[in-house]
């Protein structure tokens, strides 16, 4: 017959392992979800700021400094026409049950896109964030006349 203390020890050890596993798994899921929404917020912020710049008359210069935790910074960012798009790394797309309970199916897309409402006489120059010198964390938005363009700082 098994000793009661031995049974307690084995059961306790199993429970401890389960707790550690759930905490790591759940913690990673939450962190992943936060990063996923961070990527979406970056796109929304850039689209909104660009729109605000476009609404000004004359020259304008402003910038966005990203202080978040996305592994690639804002390297996967692209502006084309009047749309801002950011690729979301595959490992950040929520999939497991411990991730955010997603209401919209489209939210699981591998990229986030946001339209920039601007007057049709405003020309937004195409832009792709270049990260040859490492992770990019800031973008300058410049306006002169009816042209708006971006510079990776």
Partner 1 sequence: MVRDSMKGQLHFAPEIMIKALGFIFIAITLIATLFSLQQYSITYEGRPELRQLIDYSENYLSSKCITYEDHGTFFKGVFDKNKLDKNVGGCITFSKPVTIIIKDQKGGSWSSRPASSLLSLSSQRLTYPIVVKYSDQFVPGIMEVTI
119/122 Cα distance (integer angstroms) = 6
Phi and psi angles of residue 93, each rounded to the nearest 5 degrees, phi first: -75, 120
Q: CA-to-CA distance for 39 and 72, rounded, in angstroms? A: 10
| Of the residues 3, 57, 105, 132, which one makes contact with partner 1 according to CB under 8 A | 57
Distance of alpha carbon 66 from alpha carbon 113, whole angstroms:
18
Among 93, 86, 92, smallest CA distance to 45 is for 86
Binding segment (CB under 8 A) for partner 1, from list 48-56, 62-70, 85-93, 129-137: 48-56
- 105 vs 120, beta carbon nearer partner 1: 120
CA 150 – CA 13 distance, rounded (Å): 56
Taking CB under 8 A as the rule, which mask of x and - marks residues 17-36 in contact with partner 1? -xx--xx--x---x--xx--
Residue selected from 28, 41, 80, 110 as contacting partner 1 according to rule CB under 8 A = 41
Q: Which residues bind partner 1 (CB under 8 A)?
A: 4, 7-8, 11, 15, 18-19, 22-23, 26, 30, 33-34, 37, 40-41, 44, 47-48, 51-52, 54-57, 82, 97-98, 100-101, 114-121
């Amino acid at each position: 017959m098994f000793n009661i203390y031995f049974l307690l020890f084995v059961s306790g050890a199993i429970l401890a392992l389960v707790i550690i596993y759930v905490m790591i798994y759940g913690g990673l899921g939450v962190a992943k979800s936060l990063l996923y929404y961070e990527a979406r917020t970056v796109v929304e912020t850039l689209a909104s700021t660009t729109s605000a710049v476009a609404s000004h008359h004359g020259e304008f210069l402003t910038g966005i400094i990203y202080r978040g935790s996305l592994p690639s910074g804002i390297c996967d960012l692209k502006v084309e026409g009047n749309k801002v798009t950011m690729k979301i790394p595959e490992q950040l797309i929520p999939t497991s049950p411990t991730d955010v309970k997603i209401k919209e199916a489209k939210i699981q897309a591998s990229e986030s896109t946001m339209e920039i409402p601007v007057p049709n006489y405003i020309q937004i120059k195409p832009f792709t964030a270049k990260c040859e010198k490492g992770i990019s964390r800031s973008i300058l938005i410049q306006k002169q006349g009816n042209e708006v363009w971006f510079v990776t700082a």
